[in-house]
Amino acid sequence: MKLLTVFLFCAVGWAADPPLGFRDLFNGKDLSGWVNVNTDPDTWSVVNGELICKGQPIGVMRSDRMYENFILHIEWMHTEPGGNSGVFVWSGARPGEQNRLPDGVEVQMLELDWPKLHMRDGVMPTDSYVSGELFGVGGVTTVPDNPRATRSRSVEMRCLPRGQWNTYDVVAVDGVIKLAINGKFVNGIAKSSQKKGYLCLESEGAKIHFRNIRIMELPPGVTTPEQSAAPLP
């Protein structure tokens, strides 16, 4: 019954207060509950109840604890053409030496002009980039529902352009992720090699706003130490 209630909220929209069973990961006032991993002190700020990332330097901010099975609700809005960001699920939150980003499963957040601004030899990349691609990074492997090489692309374009809010509902259970974009499930992965870890918000070169970040924790599964990120101090 609780899950049915959750999916109904996903379909009809969210009230100002968290629905039953959810709790806020962002309180709208400060960065309580989050730990800066490798960005500047002023990369993340709170303005008028919104969490704002200025996009520089590249890096992440992580949750103060790990999560295994859960439903995550997060709303985001790009303000620059081709803006890039995302949320990492089941992450170890340890930045890579080359790209400053951690492992985990990335839930992509791109502004719609990204393909136009990244043409190569006159060829524009597929626009599946900009509608919630899912993929393992940093050694984490997954099986895509809708393969684009090792990534999973959405079966329908759902994201809205800069200046408009997008809603992601991420259902993460036992190595499986299903993603709803703006009220409709359109993507997923399975058999993630890591299925317990931190949540990380990404700073990747462009300003992005977040709001209404909420989570419902679900019962744990049978997760071996090899399938879990190592706890951080």
Please report, for the domain that includes residue 211, its CATH number: 2.60.120.560
Extract the residue ranges of the chain whose pLDDT is less than 70: 1-18
**Which pairs count as long-range contacts for 43-48, CB under 8 Å and 24+ apart, including other chains?**
43/203, 44/201, 44/203
Q: CB of 37 within 8 A of CB of 60?
A: yes
Q: Do the domain assignments include residue 232?
A: no
d(CA 81, CA 161): 9
The structural domain count of the chain equals 1
- Is 159 within the bounds of a domain? yes
pLDDT, residue 128, reads 72
Give the whole-angstrom CA distance, residue 58 versus residue 43. Answer: 9
Question: Does residue 51 form part of some domain?
Answer: yes
* 233 part of a folded domain: no
Query: Domain residues for 139?
Result: 2-227
Has residue 40 been placed in a domain? yes
What does the pLDDT read at residue 155? 95
In a domain, 165, yes or no: yes
Tell me whether residue 164 is in a domain. yes
pLDDT at site 127: 73
What average pLDDT is seen over the chain?
92
For residue 162, tell me if it sits in a domain: yes
